[in-house]
Protein backbone atom coordinates (compact mmCIF):
# COMPACT_ATOMS: atom_id res chain seq x y z
CA UNK A 1 0.00 0.00 0.00
CA UNK A 2 1.37 3.42 -0.95
CA UNK A 3 1.73 5.96 1.88
CA UNK A 4 -1.10 8.49 2.28
CA UNK A 5 -0.60 12.03 0.98
CA UNK A 6 1.52 14.04 3.39
CA UNK A 7 0.39 17.19 5.16
CA UNK A 8 2.79 20.11 5.37
CA UNK A 9 3.57 21.30 8.88
CA UNK A 10 1.34 23.98 10.35
CA UNK A 11 2.99 27.41 10.35
CA UNK A 12 2.17 27.68 14.06
CA UNK A 13 3.44 24.18 14.97
CA UNK A 14 6.15 25.62 17.29
CA UNK A 15 3.33 26.84 19.56
CA UNK A 16 1.72 23.39 19.96
CA UNK A 17 3.70 22.31 23.06
CA UNK A 18 2.69 25.55 24.80
CA UNK A 19 -1.10 25.14 24.47
CA UNK A 20 -2.85 25.49 27.84
CA UNK A 21 -6.13 23.58 27.77
CA UNK A 22 -7.69 24.69 31.05
CA UNK A 23 -8.27 28.37 30.09
CA UNK A 24 -9.95 27.36 26.80
CA UNK A 25 -13.46 27.11 28.21
CA UNK A 26 -15.09 27.64 24.81
CA UNK A 27 -13.95 24.14 23.80
CA UNK A 28 -16.17 22.64 26.54
CA UNK A 29 -13.71 19.85 27.28
CA UNK A 30 -14.29 17.64 30.29
CA UNK A 31 -11.51 16.94 32.80
CA UNK A 32 -11.19 13.43 31.35
CA UNK A 33 -10.84 14.76 27.79
CA UNK A 34 -8.21 17.30 28.85
CA UNK A 35 -6.28 14.56 30.66
CA UNK A 36 -6.43 12.40 27.53
CA UNK A 37 -4.97 15.20 25.40
CA UNK A 38 -2.13 15.73 27.88
CA UNK A 39 -1.43 12.02 28.14
CA UNK A 40 -1.24 11.68 24.36
CA UNK A 41 1.36 14.45 24.32
CA UNK A 42 3.63 12.67 26.75
CA UNK A 43 3.33 9.17 25.29
CA UNK A 44 4.60 7.87 21.91
CA UNK A 45 1.84 7.62 19.28
CA UNK A 46 2.32 3.83 19.16
CA UNK A 47 1.27 3.64 22.82
CA UNK A 48 -1.74 5.91 22.34
CA UNK A 49 -2.99 3.88 19.38
CA UNK A 50 -2.22 0.43 20.77
CA UNK A 51 -5.82 -0.16 21.88
CA UNK A 52 -8.81 0.45 19.57
CA UNK A 53 -11.01 1.82 22.35
CA UNK A 54 -8.38 4.28 23.61
CA UNK A 55 -7.47 5.31 20.06
CA UNK A 56 -11.12 5.91 19.19
CA UNK A 57 -11.64 8.04 22.31
CA UNK A 58 -8.56 10.12 21.49
CA UNK A 59 -9.65 10.64 17.87
CA UNK A 60 -13.13 11.72 18.96
CA UNK A 61 -11.70 14.21 21.45
CA UNK A 62 -9.62 15.73 18.65
CA UNK A 63 -12.70 15.91 16.43
CA UNK A 64 -14.58 17.61 19.28
CA UNK A 65 -11.76 20.16 19.57
CA UNK A 66 -12.07 20.87 15.83
CA UNK A 67 -15.85 21.22 16.11
CA UNK A 68 -15.83 23.52 19.12
CA UNK A 69 -12.90 25.59 17.86
CA UNK A 70 -14.50 25.96 14.44
CA UNK A 71 -17.77 27.08 16.00
CA UNK A 72 -16.13 29.73 18.17
CA UNK A 73 -13.24 30.85 15.94
CA UNK A 74 -13.33 34.30 14.41
CA UNK A 75 -12.88 34.54 10.65
CA UNK A 76 -10.45 37.39 11.29
CA UNK A 77 -8.24 35.41 13.69
CA UNK A 78 -4.47 35.72 13.46
CA UNK A 79 -4.02 32.14 12.29
CA UNK A 80 -6.58 32.34 9.48
CA UNK A 81 -4.86 35.45 8.13
CA UNK A 82 -1.48 33.75 7.74
CA UNK A 83 -0.50 33.57 4.03
CA UNK A 84 -0.44 30.18 2.30
CA UNK A 85 2.66 28.10 3.06
CA UNK A 86 3.92 30.76 5.43
CA UNK A 87 6.54 30.13 8.09
CA UNK A 88 6.86 31.94 11.39
CA UNK A 89 9.56 31.90 14.04
CA UNK A 90 9.08 30.24 17.42
CA UNK A 91 8.65 33.67 19.03
CA UNK A 92 6.05 34.71 16.43
CA UNK A 93 4.18 31.42 16.92
CA UNK A 94 3.95 32.05 20.68
CA UNK A 95 2.69 35.59 20.04
CA UNK A 96 0.02 34.20 17.71
CA UNK A 97 -0.93 31.62 20.38
CA UNK A 98 -1.58 34.46 22.85
CA UNK A 99 -3.59 36.43 20.28
CA UNK A 100 -5.53 33.54 18.69
CA UNK A 101 -5.40 30.37 20.82
CA UNK A 102 -8.48 28.89 19.12
CA UNK A 103 -6.85 29.17 15.70
CA UNK A 104 -3.71 27.44 16.97
CA UNK A 105 -5.78 24.72 18.66
CA UNK A 106 -7.59 24.05 15.36
CA UNK A 107 -4.25 23.49 13.62
CA UNK A 108 -3.09 21.29 16.50
CA UNK A 109 -6.13 18.99 16.41
CA UNK A 110 -6.02 18.59 12.61
CA UNK A 111 -2.27 17.89 12.64
CA UNK A 112 -2.77 15.24 15.35
CA UNK A 113 -5.64 13.63 13.43
CA UNK A 114 -3.46 13.34 10.34
CA UNK A 115 -0.67 11.81 12.45
CA UNK A 116 -3.13 9.20 13.73
CA UNK A 117 -4.33 8.33 10.24
CA UNK A 118 -0.83 8.20 8.74
CA UNK A 119 0.31 5.87 11.54
CA UNK A 120 -2.71 3.58 11.23
CA UNK A 121 -2.30 3.32 7.45
CA UNK A 122 1.43 2.64 7.71
CA UNK A 123 1.27 -0.06 10.40
CA UNK A 124 -0.18 -3.56 10.20
CA UNK A 125 -2.07 -4.23 13.43
CA UNK A 126 -5.55 -4.96 14.76
CA UNK A 127 -6.08 -1.23 15.28
CA UNK A 128 -7.05 0.32 11.93
CA UNK A 129 -8.78 3.41 10.55
CA UNK A 130 -11.97 1.36 10.48
CA UNK A 131 -11.75 0.28 14.14
CA UNK A 132 -10.99 3.84 15.29
CA UNK A 133 -13.45 5.88 13.21
CA UNK A 134 -16.27 3.35 12.70
CA UNK A 135 -18.17 2.06 15.71
CA UNK A 136 -20.65 -0.62 16.71
CA UNK A 137 -21.13 -4.11 15.35
CA UNK A 138 -22.13 -2.67 11.95
CA UNK A 139 -19.15 -0.32 11.75
CA UNK A 140 -21.00 3.00 11.48
CA UNK A 141 -18.98 6.17 10.82
CA UNK A 142 -18.65 8.30 13.95
CA UNK A 143 -20.93 11.32 13.80
CA UNK A 144 -18.09 13.70 14.67
CA UNK A 145 -16.87 13.65 11.03
CA UNK A 146 -19.06 16.72 10.49
CA UNK A 147 -16.48 18.81 12.37
CA UNK A 148 -14.09 18.42 9.44
CA UNK A 149 -16.77 19.35 6.90
CA UNK A 150 -17.55 22.48 8.91
CA UNK A 151 -13.95 23.62 8.42
CA UNK A 152 -14.33 23.19 4.65
CA UNK A 153 -17.64 25.05 4.49
CA UNK A 154 -16.35 28.24 6.09
CA UNK A 155 -16.09 29.76 2.63
CA UNK A 156 -13.99 32.70 1.53
CA UNK A 157 -10.23 32.34 1.69
CA UNK A 158 -10.53 30.35 4.87
CA UNK A 159 -7.52 28.85 6.58
CA UNK A 160 -5.28 27.06 4.05
CA UNK A 161 -3.70 24.59 6.47
CA UNK A 162 -6.99 23.84 8.23
CA UNK A 163 -8.90 23.27 4.99
CA UNK A 164 -6.17 21.15 3.39
CA UNK A 165 -5.74 19.10 6.56
CA UNK A 166 -9.46 18.68 7.27
CA UNK A 167 -10.22 17.55 3.71
CA UNK A 168 -7.26 15.14 3.69
CA UNK A 169 -8.19 13.61 7.06
CA UNK A 170 -11.82 13.22 5.99
CA UNK A 171 -10.83 11.57 2.70
CA UNK A 172 -8.57 9.05 4.48
CA UNK A 173 -11.34 8.23 6.97
CA UNK A 174 -13.99 7.80 4.25
CA UNK A 175 -11.81 5.80 1.85
CA UNK A 176 -11.46 3.15 4.55
CA UNK A 177 -15.19 2.41 4.27
CA UNK A 178 -15.17 1.80 0.52
CA UNK A 179 -15.73 -1.91 -0.28
CA UNK A 180 -12.79 -1.90 -2.71
CA UNK A 181 -10.49 -1.01 0.22
CA UNK A 182 -11.81 -3.62 2.65
CA UNK A 183 -10.07 -6.70 1.27
CA UNK A 184 -8.17 -7.22 4.51
CA UNK A 185 -10.74 -5.70 6.87
CA UNK A 186 -10.91 -7.46 10.22
CA UNK A 187 -14.53 -6.37 10.83
CA UNK A 188 -17.43 -4.99 8.78
CA UNK A 189 -17.44 -1.28 7.97
CA UNK A 190 -20.61 0.42 6.78
CA UNK A 191 -20.04 2.03 3.39
CA UNK A 192 -23.63 3.33 3.52
CA UNK A 193 -22.72 5.54 6.50
CA UNK A 194 -19.86 7.08 4.48
CA UNK A 195 -21.74 7.84 1.26
CA UNK A 196 -23.24 11.17 2.37
CA UNK A 197 -19.93 12.58 3.64
CA UNK A 198 -18.18 11.25 0.52
CA UNK A 199 -20.66 13.14 -1.65
CA UNK A 200 -20.18 16.31 0.43
CA UNK A 201 -16.39 16.06 0.27
CA UNK A 202 -16.47 15.38 -3.48
CA UNK A 203 -18.69 18.44 -4.01
CA UNK A 204 -16.17 20.57 -2.11
CA UNK A 205 -13.26 19.22 -4.19
CA UNK A 206 -15.16 19.95 -7.41
CA UNK A 207 -15.85 23.51 -6.21
CA UNK A 208 -12.10 24.03 -5.75
CA UNK A 209 -11.34 22.60 -9.20
CA UNK A 210 -13.81 25.06 -10.72
CA UNK A 211 -11.76 27.92 -9.31
CA UNK A 212 -9.28 29.83 -11.45
CA UNK A 213 -7.04 30.24 -8.42
CA UNK A 214 -4.09 27.87 -8.17
CA UNK A 215 -4.09 28.21 -4.38
CA UNK A 216 -7.75 27.13 -4.19
CA UNK A 217 -7.02 24.08 -6.33
CA UNK A 218 -4.00 23.24 -4.17
CA UNK A 219 -6.25 22.99 -1.10
CA UNK A 220 -8.09 20.02 -2.57
CA UNK A 221 -5.24 18.08 -4.23
CA UNK A 222 -4.18 15.94 -1.21
CA UNK A 223 -7.79 14.93 -0.47
CA UNK A 224 -8.50 14.21 -4.13
CA UNK A 225 -5.36 12.06 -4.38
CA UNK A 226 -6.40 10.09 -1.30
CA UNK A 227 -9.89 9.45 -2.69
CA UNK A 228 -8.45 8.15 -5.95
CA UNK A 229 -7.39 4.97 -4.13
CA UNK A 230 -10.99 3.69 -4.04
CA UNK A 231 -13.12 2.63 -7.00
CA UNK A 232 -16.27 3.94 -5.31
CA UNK A 233 -14.92 7.45 -4.72
CA UNK A 234 -13.55 7.58 -8.27
CA UNK A 235 -17.07 6.83 -9.50
CA UNK A 236 -18.53 9.65 -7.37
CA UNK A 237 -15.85 12.02 -8.64
CA UNK A 238 -16.66 11.20 -12.27
CA UNK A 239 -20.41 11.50 -11.69
CA UNK A 240 -19.83 15.01 -10.31
CA UNK A 241 -18.11 16.18 -13.50
CA UNK A 242 -14.64 15.76 -12.02
CA UNK A 243 -12.96 14.55 -15.22
CA UNK A 244 -13.98 17.71 -17.09
CA UNK A 245 -12.83 20.09 -14.35
CA UNK A 246 -9.60 18.16 -13.79
CA UNK A 247 -8.84 18.29 -17.53
CA UNK A 248 -9.54 22.03 -17.62
CA UNK A 249 -7.10 22.63 -14.77
CA UNK A 250 -4.45 20.58 -16.54
CA UNK A 251 -4.90 22.46 -19.82
CA UNK A 252 -4.77 25.80 -18.03
CA UNK A 253 -1.73 24.75 -15.99
CA UNK A 254 0.03 23.45 -19.08
CA UNK A 255 -0.42 26.75 -20.86
CA UNK A 256 0.97 28.64 -17.88
CA UNK A 257 3.99 26.34 -17.86
CA UNK A 258 4.52 26.93 -21.58
CA UNK A 259 4.36 30.69 -21.01
CA UNK A 260 6.85 30.40 -18.12
CA UNK A 261 9.26 28.52 -20.38
CA UNK A 262 9.00 31.19 -23.07
CA UNK A 263 9.59 33.91 -20.49
CA UNK A 264 12.67 32.09 -19.22
CA UNK A 265 14.06 31.67 -22.75
CA UNK A 266 13.38 35.31 -23.44
CA UNK A 267 15.27 36.38 -20.36
CA UNK A 268 12.28 37.22 -18.16
CA UNK A 269 12.36 36.15 -14.54
CA UNK A 270 10.06 33.17 -14.10
CA UNK A 271 10.91 32.90 -10.40
CA UNK A 272 10.09 29.84 -8.32
CA UNK A 273 6.46 29.90 -9.30
CA UNK A 274 7.01 27.40 -12.11
CA UNK A 275 8.50 24.80 -9.77
CA UNK A 276 5.48 24.72 -7.46
CA UNK A 277 3.18 24.68 -10.47
CA UNK A 278 4.99 21.65 -11.91
CA UNK A 279 4.35 19.67 -8.72
CA UNK A 280 0.67 20.60 -8.83
CA UNK A 281 0.51 19.59 -12.51
CA UNK A 282 2.00 16.22 -11.61
CA UNK A 283 -0.51 15.64 -8.82
CA UNK A 284 -3.46 16.60 -11.02
CA UNK A 285 -2.14 14.40 -13.86
CA UNK A 286 -1.72 11.54 -11.40
CA UNK A 287 -5.39 11.87 -10.41
CA UNK A 288 -6.54 11.87 -14.06
CA UNK A 289 -4.33 8.85 -14.78
CA UNK A 290 -5.90 7.01 -11.83
CA UNK A 291 -9.35 7.74 -13.28
CA UNK A 292 -8.38 5.93 -16.52
CA UNK A 293 -8.49 2.64 -14.61
CA UNK A 294 -12.29 2.96 -14.55
CA UNK A 295 -12.56 3.16 -18.37
CA UNK A 296 -13.13 -0.54 -19.01
CA UNK A 297 -16.12 -0.89 -16.71
CA UNK A 298 -17.94 2.40 -17.28
CA UNK A 299 -19.43 3.80 -20.47
CA UNK A 300 -20.20 7.11 -18.77
CA UNK A 301 -16.56 7.57 -17.69
CA UNK A 302 -15.35 6.83 -21.23
CA UNK A 303 -17.88 9.37 -22.48
CA UNK A 304 -16.59 11.95 -20.00
CA UNK A 305 -13.02 11.39 -21.21
CA UNK A 306 -14.14 11.63 -24.85
CA UNK A 307 -16.19 14.82 -24.48
CA UNK A 308 -14.74 17.63 -26.60
CA UNK A 309 -11.37 15.87 -26.63
CA UNK A 310 -10.51 17.94 -23.57
CA UNK A 311 -8.75 15.24 -21.54
CA UNK A 312 -6.64 13.95 -24.45
CA UNK A 313 -5.81 17.51 -25.49
CA UNK A 314 -4.66 18.43 -22.00
CA UNK A 315 -2.47 15.32 -21.69
CA UNK A 316 -0.99 15.87 -25.16
CA UNK A 317 -0.15 19.48 -24.28
CA UNK A 318 1.70 18.32 -21.17
CA UNK A 319 3.78 15.89 -23.22
CA UNK A 320 4.57 18.62 -25.74
CA UNK A 321 5.79 21.17 -23.20
CA UNK A 322 7.45 18.45 -21.05
CA UNK A 323 7.58 20.41 -17.77
CA UNK A 324 9.23 17.46 -15.98
CA UNK A 325 9.87 13.80 -16.76
CA UNK A 326 7.42 12.61 -14.10
CA UNK A 327 4.60 14.67 -15.66
CA UNK A 328 5.35 13.27 -19.12
CA UNK A 329 5.56 9.72 -17.77
CA UNK A 330 2.16 9.84 -16.06
CA UNK A 331 0.57 11.65 -19.04
CA UNK A 332 1.80 8.90 -21.39
CA UNK A 333 0.49 6.22 -19.03
CA UNK A 334 -2.93 7.87 -19.02
CA UNK A 335 -2.96 8.12 -22.83
CA UNK A 336 -1.93 4.47 -23.11
CA UNK A 337 -4.89 3.41 -20.96
CA UNK A 338 -7.18 5.55 -23.10
CA UNK A 339 -5.79 4.10 -26.33
CA UNK A 340 -6.18 0.48 -25.22
CA UNK A 341 -9.56 0.62 -23.47
CA UNK A 342 -12.47 -1.46 -24.77
CA UNK A 343 -16.24 -1.29 -24.50
CA UNK A 344 -16.70 -5.02 -23.85
CA UNK A 345 -17.90 -4.76 -20.23
CA UNK A 346 -20.23 -1.76 -20.53
CA UNK A 347 -21.05 -0.89 -24.12
CA UNK A 348 -23.47 1.83 -23.07
CA UNK A 349 -27.20 2.42 -23.69
CA UNK A 350 -28.77 0.92 -26.80
CA UNK A 351 -28.16 3.14 -29.80
CA UNK A 352 -25.33 5.09 -28.15
CA UNK A 353 -22.11 5.60 -30.11
CA UNK A 354 -19.32 3.16 -29.43
CA UNK A 355 -16.56 4.66 -27.31
CA UNK A 356 -13.31 2.74 -27.04
CA UNK A 357 -9.59 3.16 -27.60
CA UNK A 358 -10.01 3.86 -31.32
CA UNK A 359 -11.93 7.05 -30.51
CA UNK A 360 -9.14 8.27 -28.25
CA UNK A 361 -6.42 7.33 -30.77
CA UNK A 362 -8.17 9.46 -33.37
CA UNK A 363 -8.18 12.43 -31.01
CA UNK A 364 -4.50 11.89 -30.19
CA UNK A 365 -3.64 12.01 -33.90
CA UNK A 366 -5.74 15.16 -34.30
CA UNK A 367 -3.79 16.69 -31.40
CA UNK A 368 -0.53 15.92 -33.28
CA UNK A 369 0.76 13.51 -30.65
CA UNK A 370 4.02 11.98 -31.87
CA UNK A 371 3.62 8.39 -33.05
CB 63 within 8 A of CB 145: yes
The C-alpha atoms of residue 282 and residue 98 are separated, in whole angstroms, by: 39
The mean per-residue pLDDT over the stretch 313-331 comes to 93
Give me the residue spans of the domains in the chain: 1-240, 242-371
Distance CA 180, CA 128 (A): 16
> What pLDDT, in 10s, does the model give residues 27-78?
999 999 999 999 999 999 999 999 999 999 999 999 999 999 988 865 558 8
pLDDT tens-place string over residues 223-279: 999 999 999 999 999 999 999 999 999 998 877 777 666 666 565 544 444 445 899
Residue 78: per-residue pLDDT: 85
Please give the average per-residue pLDDT across 333-339, as a whole number: 97
The pLDDT of residue 261? 67
Q: What is the pLDDT of residues 76-107, one digit of tens each?
A: 588 888 876 677 899 999 999 999 999 999 99
CB atoms within 10 A of CB 327: 26
Closest by CA to 61, choosing from 96, 21, 13, is 21
Burial 120-153 (b: 16+ CB within 10 A, else e): bbeeeeebbbbbbbbbeeebebbebbebbbebbe
CB 294 within 8 A of CB 231: yes
CB-side exposure of 237: number of CA atoms within 13 Å?
32
Residue 140: beta bridge partners? 135
Total residue count of the chain as it appears in this document: 371
Q: Please report which confidence band the pLDDT of residue 153 belongs to, taking 50, 70 and 90 as the band edges.
A: confident
Alpha carbons 119 and 276: distance in angstroms, whole number: 27
pLDDT score for 212: 75
In the predicted structure, residue 187 carries a pLDDT above the cut 60: yes
> Which ranges of the chain would DSSP assign to H, the alpha helix?
31-42, 45-48, 52-72, 90-99, 101-122, 129-133, 146-152, 160-175, 192-209, 214-227, 231-239, 242-265, 273-291, 299-306, 310-321, 325-340, 357-366
What is the distance between the alpha carbons of residues 239 and 307, in angstroms, rounded to a whole number?
14
The 3-state DSSP class for residue 2 equals: coil
Beta bridge partners of 135: 140
Amino acid sequence: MSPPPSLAASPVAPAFPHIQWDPLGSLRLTAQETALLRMAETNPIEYTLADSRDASMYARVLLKVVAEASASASASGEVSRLPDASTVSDEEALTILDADPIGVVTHYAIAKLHSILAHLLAESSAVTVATVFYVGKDGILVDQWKALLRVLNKGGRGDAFAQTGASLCLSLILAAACPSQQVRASRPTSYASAVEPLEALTAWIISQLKSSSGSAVALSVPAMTALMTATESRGLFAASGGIKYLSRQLRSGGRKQSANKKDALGGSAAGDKGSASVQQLYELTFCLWTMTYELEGSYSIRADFAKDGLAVGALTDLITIAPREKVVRVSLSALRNLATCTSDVDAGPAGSPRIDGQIFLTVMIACCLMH
